[in-house]
Amino acid sequence: MLAIYKKELRTYFTTMTGYAFIAFFSLVSGFVFYYMNVEGSSAFVGYFLRYSYISVIMMVLVPVLTMKIFADERHSKTDQMLFTAPVTVGKIVMGKYLAVATVFSIPVAVMLTYPLIMMDYGDTPVGANYAAIAGFWLMGLALFAIGCFVSSITENQIISAVVTFAILLFLFLLQYITGIFSTDALVSAIAICVFVILFAVIYWLVARKTVDKAAIYAVIIALAGIAVVVALYFINSSMFDGLLQNIMLRCSVYYMFTYYFSAEVIDIGSFVYFISVIGFFLFLTVQSIQKRRWS
Amino acid sequence: MIEVKNLVKKYGDHMAVKDLSFNIEKGKIYGFLGPNGAGKSTTMNIITGYLAATEGQVIVNGHDIYEEPEEAKKCIGYLPEIPPLYPDMTPKEYLEFSADLKGIEKKRRAEQFKEISKLTGIEDVMNRLIKNLSKGYRQRVGLAQAILGYPEVIILDEPTVGLDPKQIVEIRDVIKGLSKRHTVILSTHIMQEVSAVCDEVIIIAHGELVARDTPDNLGKHVSGSNTVELSVKAPDYKVKAILNKLGGVTKFEVHSDNDEGCTKALVSTGVDKDLREDLFYAFANAKCPIVAMNYSNTSLEDVFIKVTSGRQTDRRR
């Protein structure tokens, strides 16, 4: 794992990618900090971190750093060396992820000086400021995990970058799209039924070649899921109030950052949330690489 | 050393490898032959653990490649068809990275780098960027990576492709040298390479094993005979009479040759029999001088074509 980590880190800093990322990110975050906190006289750093500028810059910079992680190795066939070496796939993924996380951590470390600068101007919520930066760091790491996963499913860097960008943009917009949908219980219940059917269809697509009677199982899953939803709806329809909105918001990593870190309190749930997202996508990365060996 | 049992690999509906079984013994050089698309690279990728087989088992040095991949992979050095090089590194950095990956102890590295760079002839380019190196040197750097750590088995996928004739000879010498300490499996299209380097040949076609033997035996077994080509200074009826009397001849053909009154004859015999001495005495007693005698073993090219295309026609039926 250490071998991969060292090699990846060296690649970021022998090419200009690493330097460009750090410089550009620091520039933008410094500017937004100045604009929102210093000029706008706000003592809370979380205020600038949740501002759209930073989200947009993350949308562009995350794909730039993650696009080549696995796609390039696969394209140039160097993955044959990695996956025939006596190292597990999990360790390779971890090594690569930790390297990109290290690069991202450098400009975040620069951010740690911002609360210190503000302390000079009067009373500031120092603890809340550092908590917000920590939260932002976790959010960024979650976005990098998503980028890592996307890079592992394609061998074209451009596709990898564009898909990552699209996913991050969608997650960002999700918090605004939510407003379009009605909070009515019936709408939520119907939406959940649609998700159940979608899940059944995906199951059928994945399993039709390997599992006997996959179609029958898919139908059973769909019918059982719908039956449960209908039953719950008639027992207690109020639990479906605004459920769709809640699910959508919880999928939006950006919204969850605002949700957890704008109240100036530390919520253990936030750490659990972001670490689960990171873990989930790294798990998917390992699985997608393993899957490729079998097909 | 390596046991491959009932290996099957499907890509979608296409069967790349069909029920392939063989085993590899220690300290020999194996040639892995087959026409394009026969499943050579796929088989090698499965043995090294890069791909997973649909069915079947690969055991390397007692370790199953799926059950204990790390242990099994430690015993293998692999040079894929396209050398897995990072263009932004120097060979030195690259070998350093490879040594890290393989977990070679720090104190043993300097010595190994020195030995291996000398063996593969990359000493002079150790500090140049790989992207600036020629194809031949890249191939050598890839080879150096495969040898690094002195694994027990070294698997080379077409190691001499893209090299100039002098380099090919050099690389072959390197490979021959490796057999003292390692078991080597190499795939190739080039027949001379097989007869020059390999102790044993495994021929596969359409994902199936079609022949396996030493290069010499392979020729005899496929044609089913040993053939001696003769040129005798005598009329053809006389030659026919002598050959008819001679024991051990399974088949002969006689062509009268106008050149200086010579007659040409092709004499076939059983696989294990060498007729040359008998022929010499038979003709000498008859006072018919033999002006030329050639021991014509079926060439490996013929074997290859016969074995691989034979299967194809079987399949069409």
Domain map (residue ranges) of chain A: 2-180+248-294, 185-241
What digits encode the pLDDT tens for the residues A153-189? 998 999 999 999 999 999 888 888 887 877 788 888 8
Question: CA of B176 to nearest chain A CA: how many angstroms apart?
Answer: 24
pLDDT at B317: 36
pTM of this prediction?
0.83
| Range of lowest pLDDT (A80-94, A164-178, B259-273, B292-306) | B292-306
Query: Is residue B145 a contact partner of residue A81, using CB atoms and an 8 Å limit?
Result: yes
Whole-number Å distance between alpha carbons of B186 and B173: 14
Size of interface A-B (CB pairs under 8 A): 68
* Percent of all residues in chain A with a pLDDT value above 70, rounded to a whole number: 99
Q: Say whether A86 and B102 touch across the interface (CB within 8 A).
A: yes
Whole-number Å distance between alpha carbons of A188 and A198: 15
Q: Say whether B49 and A84 touch across the interface (CB within 8 A).
A: yes
Whole-number Å distance between alpha carbons of B222 and B298: 8
Q: Which amino acid, one-letter code, is at A122?
A: G
Say what the ipTM of the complex is: 0.83
- Concatenate the DSSP letters of all residues of A182-235 into one string: ---HHHHHHHHHHHHHHHHHHHHHHHTTTSTTHHHHHHHHHHHHHHHHHHHHHH
Please name the residue of chain B whose CA is at the shortest distance from the CA of residue A86.
Answer: B70
More confident residue, A257 or B48: B48
What digits encode the pLDDT tens for the residues B158-177? 888 777 888 888 888 888 88
Summarize the confidence of residues B211-233 as an average pLDDT.
75
- Asked if the model's pLDDT at residue B225 lies above 70, the reply is no
What pLDDT band is residue B313 in, cutting at 50, 70 and 90?
Answer: very low
Question: CA of A27 to nearest chain B CA: how many angstroms apart?
Answer: 28
Question: Which residues in chain A are closer than 8 Å to B97, comparing Cβ atoms?
Answer: 3, 6-7
Using only C-alpha atoms, chain A has a radius of gyration, in whole angstroms, of 22
Q: Are strands B63-64 and B263-269 parallel, antiparallel or unpaired?
A: unpaired
Question: Which CA distances in Å does B78 have to A134, A166, A243, B158?
Answer: 44, 38, 54, 11
